[in-house]
Amino acid sequence: MHWRRRTKSNPLLANTTPMENRDWVNSHARDYVLNYFYFLADRRKESHMKNIQQLTQHAAYVYNAMPHPSDISYAEAEYKRGVDSDWKDSCLRYPEVLEYFYGLVNITLPSENDKNVCELSLRSSSLSRRKRMPKIRQVENMEDGDHRRRRHSRTRERPNNEHRRHREREREREREPIGVMHPGNVEYGRGPIPPSPPRAYP
């Protein structure tokens, strides 16, 4: 049994789309792989039938009986493993078959001076579409305004607990005695340590 390839190069493929070319190649490659597997499976089946016939003749000639069931089971298992191996071999040829059928597709490239290459036949709206960039001055003004608003809100919206602590520290400072501080020399008198600014301050 010999399987012949029934497909030939199609000269009309040059006028089709890439999607149609891919579908054409895939369909022919699948047909080839399936036909190749059927060819191997038919040959494997013929060999299996001959093996069963030999087992039957040998058991009838030697034992004058049917072959043992274990021998039949072993032959059936070998046949199934052989069919699986044939299918694996057929699938391994799929990349090679794809490359072969892709080689039958004729693709012609236009020249660089072709009108379709130099002048794109697209919609003018898609070519003239540009992104509008915001003005720098407006962005800077918005950033300055946001910064000022945040700074003003931080100075105005002081937490209550921080405000209370600040007032308590001011009262303690007023109660403590203040030493005389000479200008340029801090060792003669030491005043109270000023309170640290609240966390809400910048």
pLDDT tens sequence across 75-118:
999 999 999 999 999 999 999 999 999 999 887 778 888 888 88
Q: Note the pTM of the prediction, 2 decimals.
A: 0.50
Distance CA 173, CA 7 (A): 103
pLDDT given for residue 111 in this prediction: 85
Q: Choose among 13, 193, 5: nearest CA to 102.
A: 13
Question: Sign (positive/negative) of CA torsion 180, 183, 187, 191?
Answer: positive
pLDDT tens sequence across 131-168:
555 555 554 555 555 656 665 555 555 556 777 787 78
Structure tokens at 103: 């080689």
Is residue 3 within 8 A of residue 75, CB to CB? The reply is no
Q: Choose among 28, 173, 48: nearest CA to 105.
A: 28
